[in-house]
Chain A
Amino acid sequence: MLRLGVPSKGRLMEKTFDWFAARGVGIARTEDEREYAGHVSGVEDVRLMLLAAGEIPRELAAGRIHLGVTGTDLVREQIPGWERVVEELAPLGFGHADLVIAVPKAWVDVETPGDLDAAAAAFRAAHGHRLRIATKYHRLVREYLRAEGVADYALVDSQGATEGTVANGTAEAIADITSSGETLRANHLRPLSTPPILRSEATLFRARGAEWSTGARAAFAALARRIGVEAGGD
């Protein structure tokens, strides 16, 4: 039995179903829309697990699912040393989003991490506290800012409506996922002009640490042939 975790709702779920369907693997939810269960047709011995997209990295890391579809951003944020824990089998071509640092449009003097650092130093001297950046991607943002040599900032946690934190006065800048940039613009923010921290897309992952029984291997081999992916070694 091969356990396949896919997002349980929204466009991410629909597009995942479409991606598999285009490769001859049918995924369908049960009749009752409220029940988080479904089935897989076209390959034998694959069990569908409908999960919140944000929980799929954790399930992969724990080896409770063999395969999972989720964003690269979530995997990199949630799994330390992710390359050793999961394998990227295939980017799925949807769910594109960039993790960016965004600042108020009025900050015409801030375009690069270096500018942000200089602004943060002056801000701390003027206000007596560090420049606050609201995000839910703590690890990725901290690693990025450390590598870029940015100091005098503080991360503040924001699990939703992050674009509103600046206008609300709980942060001076944000770091968040954006696809079209519309929400940023509507909230009078814009990304730095340097490349994003991370370009993310929905991706099919394989859990290296799951229990790969003979049955799971056989089911994976059949599914992999059908959808045209290849697993590397561990």
Chain B
Amino acid sequence: MPGKAAIRAEAARLQAQLAGAVGGAQAIEADILQPAETLLDLYGEDIRARAYVTADPVRGERMLRPDFTVPVVQMHMASGAEPARYTYAGEVFRRQESPEPGRPTEYMQVGLEVFDRADPAARDAEVFRAIAGALSPLRLKAAMGDIGLLAAAVSGLPLSEPRRAALMRHLWRPHRFKELLERFAGRRPAPPARRALLAEVAARGAPAVIDAAGPAIGRRSRAEIATRLAALAADAAEPPLPGRELALIDDLLTVRAAPPDALSRLHDLSVDMPALEPAVERLSARLEALDAAGVDLDAVTFEASYGRTTMEYYDGFVFGLVAERAGLPPVATGGRYDALTRQLGAGREIPAVGGVIRPALVLELGGGA
């Protein structure tokens, strides 16, 4: 394992190289201690399993930054001019709830983030080219994905709005997503107790059923329970999602091929799922931009579900660069996170794309200057 001083020097070299590759960028710093509330609101309770939490008697819970994205977005939203390109280098901290030998709990990250409203495809290509270019001596395998394809497919499913919203909420949780889809398709019939409950509610009315069950305690009100009961009744009356729609979603999620083949497969799929078309067009534009930027697409695999479980705040293009050697985490990852800027921006938003490199892995793999 290379020493910290060597890793720091490599980080500085990579940071300068990234800035050079995008024609100059502002180098920025971020606090190590971040307000826990912001991160919890974004990532949910799961972040506690991955980030160190520390209690500050005055400021409340703080987290040791698990990544730079949130502080960089906040900084940009508060004061940044547009368009903007930022680089940074510093430690991030990752808690592990079960022993994972060989996985560090703190390590250096070098990052590039681009905030620019113009030509998203070209910006995606710019970030990928900069990061892949800095790592080209390592001959890494590149994978790309795009969660926007799944979102587009869901937007076109013949479903009620509540059902669609439930799926959209769980794009990043494959287990729950699949269960919901199967339920909507009538493949998981409601248990008898649920059918009996809905019959009772229909006969006696929700208030009577709720009152008979127990006293109102806690902050979730009877009205909220009644609203959900009405939603359950409406859901039970909704016609099942046709099986062919399920099969199309499955087909989409299993697309895994060289980019040109993946693109033609997705074009075929969009004949049956017209809602997919805008997302396929965006992918097509991105691949053209990557090609124009000189990226060798033959060395890339496109996987429609790449990063679906591990890169939750990305909502479009995602990528990873991985060494052949087994057991190593990706040397670099990144993607587009427009929705995150919307959530952090309090009404404002700006398209954003970025990525990070782990300089320790670059040295370990024999790269570096």
Residues of A bordering B, CB below 8 Å: 80-81, 84, 104-109, 111, 114, 117-119, 121-123, 126-127, 130-131, 138-139, 142-143, 145-155, 166-167, 169, 171-173, 187-188, 193
The B interface is mostly helix, strand or loop, or mixed, namely: helix
- Chain B residues, CB < 8 A from A81: 98-99
**B44 in contact with A118 (CB, 8 Å):** no
Chain B residues with CB under 8 Å of A139's CB are 49, 97
The closest CB in chain B to the CB of A150 belongs to B176
Please name all residues of chain B whose beta carbon is closer than 8 Å to the beta carbon of A107 when the two chains form the complex. Answer: 213, 220, 225
Do B45 and A154 touch across chains, with their CB atoms under 8 A apart? Answer: yes
Residues on A with beta carbons closer than 8 Å to the beta carbon of B173: 149, 151
Tell me whether B228 and A122 are in contact (CB under 8 A): yes
State the 8 A-B residue pairs at the shortest beta-carbon distance, nearest first: A149-B176, A105-B214, A149-B173, A166-B218, A106-B214, A81-B99, A109-B228, A167-B217
- Whether the pair B197, A108 counts as a contact (CB closer than 8 A) is yes
* B49 to A, closest residue via Cβ: A142
- Does B139 lie at the interface of the complex (its beta carbon under 8 Å from any beta carbon of A)? no
Residue of A nearest to B216 (CB): A106
> B224 and A126: CB pair below 8 A?
yes
A80 and B99 contact, Cβ closer than 8 Å, known pairs A122-B227, A122-B228, A142-B45 = yes
Chain A contacts for B179, CB-based, 8 A: 114, 149
Q: Which of A80, A117, A122, A154 contacts B40 (CB 8 A)?
A: A154
Interchain CB contact under 8 A, B215 and A106: yes
CB of A172 within 8 A of CB of B170, answer no
Q: Are B209 and A172 in contact (CB under 8 A)?
A: no
Q: Within 8 Å CB of B215, what residues of A?
A: 105-106, 188
The dominant DSSP class at the A interface is: mixed
Contact count band on B: 35 or more
Which residues in window 224-271 of B have CB below 8 A to A? Answer: 224-225, 227-229, 231-232
Most chain A CB within 10 A, of B48, B96, B177, B222, is at B48
**What is the interface of chain B, defined by CB distance below 8 A to chain A?**
40, 44-46, 48-49, 96-99, 166, 169-170, 173, 175-177, 179-180, 191, 193-194, 197, 209-211, 213-220, 222, 224-225, 227-229, 231-232
Asked if A127 contacts B170 (CB within 8 A), the reply is no
On chain B, the residues within 8 Å of A111 by CB distance are 191, 193-194
Q: Are A118 and B222 in contact, CB atoms less than 8 angstroms apart?
A: no
What separation, in Å, do the CA atoms of A172 and B224 have in the docked complex?
Answer: 13
B41 nearest CB neighbor, chain A only = A130
Instruction: Considering the complex, give the chain B residue whose CB is closest to the CB of A165.
Output: B218
Cβ–Cβ contact A166 & B224, under 8 A: no
**Residues B216 and A169 in contact, CB atoms below 8 Å apart:** no
Taking the closest CB of chain B, its distance from the CB of A139, in whole angstroms, is 6
Please indicate the chain A residues that have their CB under 8 angstroms from the CB of B97 in the complex. Answer: 80, 139, 143
Using Cβ atoms and an 8 Å threshold, which residues of chain B touch A167? 217-218
Residue pair B44, A152 in contact (C-beta under 8 Å): yes
Q: Report A-chain residues with C-beta under 8 Å of the C-beta of B224.
A: 119, 122-123, 126
Residue on A with the closest CB to B43? A151
Chain B residues, CB < 8 A from A193: 193
> A80-B99, A148-B176, A188-B214 known; 5 other A-B pairs, CB under 8 Å?
A109-B197, A111-B194, A148-B175, A149-B179, A151-B170
- Contact call A172/B219, Cβ cutoff below 8 A: yes
Chain B residues closer than 8 Å to A105, beta-carbon distance = 213-215
